[in-house]
Amino acid sequence: MNLIDEVNALIQEAGEADIMNAEALEEYRKRFLGTKNILKGYFAKMKDVEPENRKAFGQLLNEVKNQAETRYSEVQTLIRQATRVQHQLDLTAPATPIAAGARHPISLILNRIVDIFARIGFIVVEDREIEDDWHNFTAMNTPDDHPARDMQDTFYLKDSSTYLLRTHTSSVQARVMTQRKPPIRIIAPGRVYRNETISARSHCQFHQVEGLYVDKGVSFRDMKQTLYYFARELYGPETRIRLRPSYFPFTEPSAEMDVYWGLKDETDYRITKGTGWLEILGCGMVDPAVLENCGIDPNVYSGFAFGMGIERQGMQKYRINDIRQYFENDMRFLAHFGSAF
């Protein structure tokens, strides 16, 4: 075999050698590209080649070298990729954590409450947070000299004695009763505002859910049974309730509803003030004056209404001891509520 044939055989070998594993590839590198590679010997034999063929011989040798370089780096890449794929398929490797979002605890509780009432035919209504004096107070039978109207308690809009941030969702009662004819059965969740000093127990903004049912022949008994159903759905089937007489300008008679929480530990004593009972909502029969203010004939229709705060219930349920935590957007707090309530 002359030199030309030998080099041609090398070209073929460099192109076809089986080098699809790391060791074979390393052998290949040594043979064709290493410091003692086979081509060096042939370059040394250049002088034995007839002068007119030297150029062609040199080109052939370079061809072997180029081919070996190209193929080496291609196969090297393939082997690296294959190794990486193996890593991806390692089912014992620790998983990459997924940053899943969580609902805000206020939304969780609101949704729960709204769902419970939706199941018995209450329709969700949302209305404005910037309200006028009439819907928030006057229509709701709250006289001009009532302390709630004081600047101390209510945020009025700048230079206005008419517009304010609603102090309760009861304003939605007035909105609905002036717009719709009975039967009315609505549930109104939303944010309310009161001019209170911010502390661990109270905030100048919080959330309420309002309920209103107006039809012919609606009685206190209907209210009690509806609220009892609600309490059992939210707090569990064994839940006991009690109604205590109370006062609101817009209901008569009025009551506050407690659910029995228990007195098992020190925290129970603290959150129930030693009674075992938790106050969760205010309620009552819609005052005939309110119906009248809103254009509904109190001689034909009657109704009940109730309203409850969300933050307090959440604080009891999740044992949150500072109301400000709801509004601070601290991820360490929010991340607790992934699938809660």
Tokens of 232: 């059992």
Of the pair 127, 210, the CB lying nearest ligand PHE is at 210
d(CA 319, CA 32): 73
Q: Counting contacts by CB under 6 A, is residue 307 touching ligand PHE?
A: yes
Q: Which of residues 170-209 bind ligand PHE (CB under 6 A)?
A: 170
Give 211's strand partners.
187, 306
Taking the CB of residue 100, how many other CB atoms lie within 10 A of it?
8
Q: Which of residues 73-112 bind ligand PHE (CB under 6 A)?
A: none
Q: Is 181 helix (H, G, I), strand (E, B) or coil?
A: coil
Of the pair 38, 127, the CB lying nearest ligand PHE is at 127
Of the pair 68, 303, the CB lying nearest ligand PHE is at 303
Q: Is 245 helix (H, G, I), strand (E, B) or coil?
A: strand
Minimal distance, residue 259 CB to ligand PHE, in Å: 16
CB 234 within 8 A of CB 111: no
Q: What is the CA radius of gyration of the chain?
A: 40
Minimal distance, residue 166 CB to ligand PHE, in Å: 10
Q: Counting contacts by CB under 6 A, is residue 32 touching ligand PHE?
A: no
Taking the CB of residue 332, how many other CB atoms lie within 10 A of it?
8
Count of chain residues binding ligand PHE (CB under 6 A): 11
Of the candidates 306, 311, 312, 326, which one interacts with ligand PHE according to CB under 6 A? Answer: 306
Taking the CB of residue 301, how many other CB atoms lie within 10 A of it?
20
Minimal distance, residue 158 CB to ligand PHE, in Å: 24
Of the pair 32, 248, the CB lying nearest ligand PHE is at 248
Of the pair 14, 285, the CB lying nearest ligand PHE is at 285
Q: Which of residues 236-295 bind ligand PHE (CB under 6 A)?
A: 248, 251, 282-284
Q: In what order do the strands lie in the sheet with 251-260?
A: 123-124, 184-193, 205-215, 302-309, 277-286, 251-260, 241-248
Q: Counting contacts by CB under 6 A, is residue 168 touching ligand PHE?
A: yes
- Which residues would be at the binding site for ligand PHE (CB under 6 A)? 168, 170, 210, 248, 251, 282-284, 305-307
